Amino acid sequence: MTLEELARLVGGQVRGECRERIFGVNSLREAVPGQISFLTSPKYLPDLEKTRASAVIVGRVTPPTDKPLLITDRPYLAYARIARFFSPPKTHPTGVHPLAYVEEDCRIGEGVSIYPFVYVGKGVVIEKGVTLCAGVFIGDGVRIGEGTLIHPNVSVLDGTIIGKRVIIHSGTVIGSDGFGFAQDGLEQVKIPQTGIVQIDDDCEIGANNTIDRASLGRTWLQKGVKTDNLVHVAHNVVVGEHTLLIAQVGISGSVTIGKGAILAGQVGVIDHLSIGDGARIIGKSGVIQDVPAGAVVAGYPAMPHPVFLRSSALIRKLPEMAKRIRELEGKVRELENALEKEKKDHGTQS
Tell me the catalytic residues: 235
Dihedral in degrees, nearest 10, Cα atoms 159, 163, 168, 171: 0
- For residue 298, the Cα-to-chain-centroid distance in whole angstroms is 16
266/259 Cα distance (integer angstroms): 20
Q: Are strands 125-126 and 107-108 parallel, antiparallel or unpaired?
A: parallel
CA distance 206 to 251: 15
Q: Kindly report the number of other CB atoms within 10 A of residue 90's CB atom.
A: 7
The residues near 269 (Cβ < 8 Å, ≥ 6 apart) are 249, 250, 251, 252, 255, 263, 275, 281, 287
Q: Which residues contact 305 (CB under 8 A, 6 or more apart)?
A: 280, 282, 296, 297, 298
Burial 179-205 (b: 16+ CB within 10 A, else e): ebeeeeeeeeeeeebebbbbbbbbbbb
Burial class (CB in 10 A: 0-12, 13-18, 19+), 168: buried
CA atoms within 13 A on the CB side of 346: 6
CA-based nearest residue to 209, from 165, 173, 247:
173
DSSP letter assigned to residue 270 = -
Structural element, H or E, at residue 306? helix 305-316
